Structure 1
Amino acid sequence: MKLYYSPGACSLASHIVAREAGIAIELEKVDMASKRTQGGIDFLTINPKGNVPVLELDDGAWLTEGPAIMQFLADLKPERDLVPLNGTMARYRLQEWLGFINSDLHTSYAPLFNPAMLGLIRSEKREALFKYYAVVERSLTHQPWLLGEQFSVADAYLFTVTNWARHVGMDLSRLPAISAFQQRAAGRPQVRAALLAEGLLRD
């Protein structure tokens, strides 16, 4: 399988999940500005939506959207316990977190990467993000991971999105549980391996 990614983008979460699951994947870097892959392919012919990640399956089919890709990869290796069993309430709790991270946290970051955004609006967007993070903070105050004691695909997604905070001037020190979560996740060997592979860390 091949994962089309952009360093540090939301595709990092799928990359982390693949490594945590022990699934060997080929990485194909995408320049999001030019929409060209490192192999010179027009990325829009692969995903007309223009977004990473895209997972190219062994049969040549493509799967898009991070939450779907992460669950697909994790379901290939159920013994790694990265997702609860389908049909259980725990699985729906996982999907609840994935939906929240995707629709509230992830999308709220996008405007903050726009350099043309006015300072006042930027400040308002940051405060809105802190309100969303307050929900996460309450959960992580009492447990190490979003679903409890077990690292899951939701944690890979939360770590990836929250890693953007320092790039948009958000100080997370007022959120000690989330700050501790980020350090805990970053310390996982497979998370570190993914960061190194994408050029986001140095040995």
Structure 2
Amino acid sequence: MELERVDIASKRTQTGVDFLPVNPKGNVPVLELDDKDLLTESPAIMQYLADLKPECELAPPNGTMARYRLQEWLGFVNSDLHKGYSPLFNSATPELVRRERQGALSKYYGLLEKLLTTQPWLLGERFSVADAYLFTVTSWAPHAGLDRSRLPAISAFQQRVGERPHVRGALLAEGLLRD
């Protein structure tokens, strides 16, 4: 699997390819499969990757209530948290909108703080792709002006995920962590 970065502003890949023919929505991520089919949207990609290696137990089996809970968490992280950050990374966002988004995100993190005080992972005792997604999105908080210092369970969650060997490997590969 190869990583190719995309400049969202210019809609060009790191090798200079126009990204819009790849994904007309203009969004990342996009996963190109072996048969050249493309899969978009984080929740779909994460479930697909988890299903490739069921022995890793990153997603509960299809048809179980636990799988629907996974989809519930992936939907929440995607639509409420991930999309909630977008205006905070745009310098043209009016201050009123910025404060509203920070307030909404703080409310959502308050709910997550309460949950993660009682269990280590979103689905309980087992790490899942929803936890990986939450970790990624939550790592944006300092860059978006969100203070996590009063969220000890969220901070402990971030540390637990960040210490996982595969997560460390991914962060190193993307240049987000130095060894």
| TM-score for both structures, normalised by structure 1 | 0.85
Deviation track 1:34-61 (CA, whole Å, cap 9, x = no partner) reads: 2112222111111011111100000111
Unmatched tracts of structure 2, length 5 or more: none
> 2:101 & 2:7 partners in 1: Cα distance?
27
In percent, how many aligned pairs have the same letter?
74
> 2:16 & 2:92 partners in 1: Cα distance?
30
In the TM superposition, what is the alpha-carbon distance from 1:125 to its structure 2 partner? 1.8
Q: What's 1:90 paired with? A: 66
Q: What's 1:152 paired with? A: 128
> 1:119 & 1:47 partners in 2: Cα distance?
31
Misfit runs of 4+, over 6 Å: none
Deviation track 1:51-74 (CA, whole Å, cap 9, x = no partner) reads: 111000001110000100000010
In the TM superposition, what is the alpha-carbon distance from 1:26 to its structure 2 partner? 1.5
Deviation track 1:164-190 (CA, whole Å, cap 9, x = no partner) reads: 101011110111111110111111111
| 2:46 counterpart (58, 64, 70) | 70
In the TM superposition, what is the alpha-carbon distance from 1:80 to its structure 2 partner? 0.1
In the TM superposition, what is the alpha-carbon distance from 1:145 to its structure 2 partner? 0.8
2:69 is aligned with 1:103: no
Matches within 5 A, 1:1-203: 25-203=1-179
2:118 counterpart SS class: coil
1:167 partner letter: H
1:126 partner letter: Q
In the TM superposition, what is the alpha-carbon distance from 1:94 to its structure 2 partner? 0.4
Q: What's 1:11 paired with? A: none
Deviation track 1:91-144 (CA, whole Å, cap 9, x = no partner) reads: 000001111111111111111112123334322321111111122112111111
> 2:108 & 2:147 partners in 1: Cα distance?
14
Where relative contact order (Cα < 8 A, 6+ residues apart) is larger, the structure is 1
> 1:132 & 1:124 partners in 2: Cα distance?
12
2:127 partner letter: F
| TM-score for both structures, normalised by structure 2 | 0.95
Unmatched tracts of structure 1, length 5 or more: 1-24
From the superposition, tell whether residues 58 and 178 of structure 1 become closer, same or farther in structure 2 (CA, over 3 Å).
same
Deviation track 1:1-26 (CA, whole Å, cap 9, x = no partner) reads: xxxxxxxxxxxxxxxxxxxxxxxx21
